[in-house]
Structure 1
Amino acid sequence: QGLIAADRAKMDFFRFVTHEIKSPVSTAQSAVETALELGAARMAPAVEDMLSRAVGRLEHAGEMVRNLADFTRGGDLGAENMGEVDLNRLVARIAEDLQELASRRGITFELDLPRSPVTVVSSRSMLEKIIQNLASNAVRYNREGGQVRIALKTADGNLRLEVADQGIGVDPADQGRIFEEFYRTPAAQEMTNMGTGLGLPIVKKFVKQLGGKVLLASVPGKGSTFTVELPIQLSGGERAGEGPPPDSPSVSAEAGS
């Protein structure tokens, strides 16, 4: 009972913090970005560099706020956003959104998606956060010139999502803690100080709420593969991997090569 109360108090605190600082952080970031845009031509290089670094720090603070909000609102996200989700389109859009960040370091995407659209009935927000967090981590902790591979398959009533990178990997000693709140591996901290330690806990939480599981396979220095397995229902009430009833339109869930 005491642990439940402590967990509830922690979540209440996170909600309070995100509510109080979300607007000031967003306002400050917009102000600094505007100052950079309007005054860059007249700024001394040192001032421009200082403001650019300030934008980066504010972006990090904004990411932390968004992650805290996601972490404390998991149940609400699922209840509010149930509906049809085109998984192929969702994965492609997330990869496109990350393309600019990836291209700065010569990182490319390989998408292995079913040939036919796979539309499922689920929480759009939760699925989006799961894929987005795994894909952004795969970019952030990848090597220069590396590749991020995202694969989708459906069979036997389940969705299987794989996100693989060629980056720093996770040491076996850290793999048991990788989904802990705010935990970042020593290798991740050495590579960048921009992570929040909440991306993977959010993935684990949302996957669990959707009735699935998330697995990690990793080799230090060679990369990581995160596999998410979820029970899903295809649009129209059909379970993934089952054939449509007689005389009904065919819904394909076969994975392409």
Structure 2
Amino acid sequence: MDEVIERKHGPGLLRLDESTREHLEVLAEGAAALAEFSLAAISIRDGDELEVVAAYGPGVADAIVGRRLPVALLEAELANSDEWGPWRFVPHDRETPEIADYGYVSDDVVVDSPNAWHPRDLLAAPLLDDDGELLGVLSVDVPLDGLRPGKLQRELLEKCAVVTRRAALVALERMALGEQVRLASQAREIVRRALSEPSLDLVVEASRAAIMSCFDSIGMWFLALDAQGGTTSAWYAADAAAGVDPGTYGVEDMLMQVSRTAWDDQRVVPLHAARREDEGPTAADLERLSELLEQVGIGSALLVPLGAGSECTGFIALARPSRKREWTPVELDVALDIGHDLGIAVANARQVDQLRRIDSYRTELVNTLAHELRNPLFTVAANLEMLEDAELEPHDQKSVASASRGVARLSGVLEDLLTMARVADPHAVLESETVNLLELLAVVEEECGGVAAAKDVDFVVHPPAEPFLVSGSPDELVRMLCNLSSNAVKYTDAGGRVDVRLTRAGAEVVVTVQDTGIGISEEDQRQLFQEFFRSTNPDALERPGTGLGLAIVERIARRHSGHVELSSRAGDGTTVSVTLPLD
């Protein structure tokens, strides 16, 4: 998900779309005709350079479109110019040596007159935005009459500059707006795809680059409230020049208060250094925040509340170095949408955290109960053993035997509970060593073979020709294999068969236990690995079990970076496969 939106604009425009370029070419042609010149060109600013993007005149487009000129060189050249309204005229004898290699020289001027146009004369009109920033330059060359413009032609030139500037600004603004909409849609899509990430940290990590790029931001402060009243906070900077983490200024509570109000109103809040525009209950907070922006060198910021339903669950604050550039309506709408999307991610993270806490509490409770029950159960079992050795009446002997069987079943349940608590505990450390699965199969055959024989079930272990080594806990892996095998024997009737195999699958080993037993319905298969689930099949319910066997298998497999697959049909046997990575 590590995607970055490609930007096509910075201080100027890096690349024009075809529609805007064609529009500027028409403007260049119109400027030449209106000003009564043979040639015209429009250059657009890209950072510290100007690029010729449109030209009109015989052969001039092929010669100069794509040429780039440093803005500093043009400014130095225009410092020697004569001002003709919006135009700047630099006679050839004032041309600076540094700019000589950048100009276009036409050989079409041949008028023999003291006022003749010289091939190296320069006439250019800077195209400025409403804040006086240079966006581009309109230049013309080779007047139709071959003479430098007189008073009447200068009036035409002034009208030409005004019309061209206005039309060029509209074209560039339209393109910038279209580009902004495209970037916003792309950012929104990236954020929504990031919601599939398994944790809040990964959601933010997968989408922050897209968010910062979409809003042309140098920094993003993310803060989310958890269900216990704590916070998750992070500051992401585009580079080292993006300033200090604003979290160090102790304004979290203030920003959360403003964010809650903004979430209630379903809006985002633009902030500007040393400038306050809002009125109302949060006005004092906004004034203080604006002063803080000025202190840390951030020109403007956009505070975006995060939330789900009626609850505000955090915010993101996007920073820009300049306060001149306003936050556009498109940006405000997209920011609010992203606030909704990230608010869902925060809400999901809080639910997952609560589920983890519940699961942790359940594990702790099961551990405590199992340990507390173990001692009295041991006492009961010891006393029953003494009674078995005593001389009792036949009726009393049957009662003791029945109680002993009950104690044995309870002991099995306790062992399953303790095992389940241990393998399901995310904090339980897996003490790994190299384990030969072939050796473990011998243990499984010894433990399950006798039970299978007593039931008249063929229990066949197919030893592989090579050892299969995995990394893990031998005790847990034996428990996993025994659970699978004893389960297969339990649900296979007399005359049936259970096969246990080890096979290689690339860099993994597959343990397969296949039986000819009673099988499992499709409905039961969907819940089979849940704790305490027992089959709905009456035939299966008659056979004793805790409903933890396969759940333990699944947890142990997961702890060993493996996975479990099951294939079965009611009345037609079951195949369970556990895949583990080879050491």
With the shorter chain as reference, the TM-score category is 0.7 to 0.9
Asked whether the 8 Å contact 2:491–2:540 carries over to 1, the reply is no
Secondary structure at the aligned position of 1:73 is classed as helix
Alignment of 1:142 onto 2:489? no
- Structure-2 residue corresponding to 1:240: none
Asked whether the 8 Å contact 2:453–2:459 carries over to 1, the reply is no
Q: 1:8 aligns with which of 350, 354, 360?
A: 360
Q: Using the TM superposition, name which of 96-105 and 130-139 deviates more.
A: 96-105
Q: 1:79 aligns with which of 430, 434, 438?
A: 430
Amino acid at match of 1:26: F
Q: CA RMSD in A?
A: 1.9
Secondary structure at the aligned position of 1:93 is classed as helix
Q: 1:70 aligns with which of 411, 419, 422?
A: 419
Q: 1:204 aligns with which of 534, 551, 554?
A: 554
Q: What displacement does 1:98 show?
A: 1.9
- Structure-1 residue corresponding to 2:398: 49
- Cα distance per residue 1:116-167 (max 9 Å; x no partner): 3333332212211210111111111111232211101123110100111221
1:133–1:12: structure 2 CA closer, same or farther, 3 Å change rule? same
Amino acid at match of 1:111: V
Q: Greater Rg, structure 1 or structure 2?
A: 2
Distance 1:34 1:98 in 2: 29
Amino acid at match of 1:158: E
Secondary structure at the aligned position of 1:134 is classed as helix
Secondary structure at the aligned position of 1:144 is classed as coil
Q: What displacement does 1:78 show?
A: 5.7
Q: 2:407 aligns with which of 58, 66, 69?
A: 58
- Cα distance per residue 1:165-188 (max 9 Å; x no partner): 221111111110001110000226
Amino acid at match of 1:223: G
Distance 1:88 1:33 in 2: 37
1:61–1:9: structure 2 CA closer, same or farther, 3 Å change rule? same
Distance 2:382 2:557 in 1: 33
- What are the within-5 Å matches in structure 2 for residues 96-245 of structure 1? 96-187=446-537, 189-192=540-543, 194-233=544-583
- Cα distance per residue 1:196-242 (max 9 Å; x no partner): 11111111111112111101111212211101111121xxxxxxxxx
Q: What displacement does 1:23 show?
A: 2.4
1:191–1:160: structure 2 CA closer, same or farther, 3 Å change rule? same
Q: What displacement does 1:7 show?
A: 1.3
1:59–1:2: structure 2 CA closer, same or farther, 3 Å change rule? same
Q: Using the TM superposition, name which of 60-69 and 101-110 deviates more.
A: 101-110
Asked whether the 8 Å contact 1:163–1:227 carries over to 2, the reply is yes
Q: What displacement does 1:33 show?
A: 3.2
Gaps of 5+ in 2: 1-352
1:227–1:78: structure 2 CA closer, same or farther, 3 Å change rule? farther
Query: Structure with the greater relative contact order (CA < 8 A, sep ≥ 6): 1 or 2?
Result: 1
Asked whether the 8 Å contact 2:384–2:400 carries over to 1, the reply is yes
Q: What displacement does 1:43 show?
A: 3.3
Amino acid at match of 1:209: R
Q: What displacement does 1:100 show?
A: 2.6
**TM-score, length-normalised on structure 2?**
0.37
Asked whether the 8 Å contact 1:113–1:153 carries over to 2, the reply is no
- What are the within-5 Å matches in structure 2 for residues 14-25 of structure 1? 14-25=366-377
Asked whether the 8 Å contact 2:560–2:580 carries over to 1, the reply is yes
- Cα distance per residue 1:40-73 (max 9 Å; x no partner): xx43333222222222211111111111111111
Count residues in correspondence: 228
Distance 1:65 1:26 in 2: 11
Distance 1:46 1:68 in 2: 33
- Structure-1 residue corresponding to 2:9: none
Asked whether the 8 Å contact 2:517–2:571 carries over to 1, the reply is yes
Amino acid at match of 2:497: Q
Amino acid at match of 1:208: R
Asked whether the 8 Å contact 1:216–1:227 carries over to 2, the reply is yes
Secondary structure at the aligned position of 1:79 is classed as coil
1:220–1:78: structure 2 CA closer, same or farther, 3 Å change rule? farther
Q: What displacement does 1:189 show?
A: 4.8
| Structure 1 outlier segments of 4+, above 6 Å | none
Query: Percent identity, aligned pairs only?
Result: 29
Q: What displacement does 1:26 show?
A: 2.8
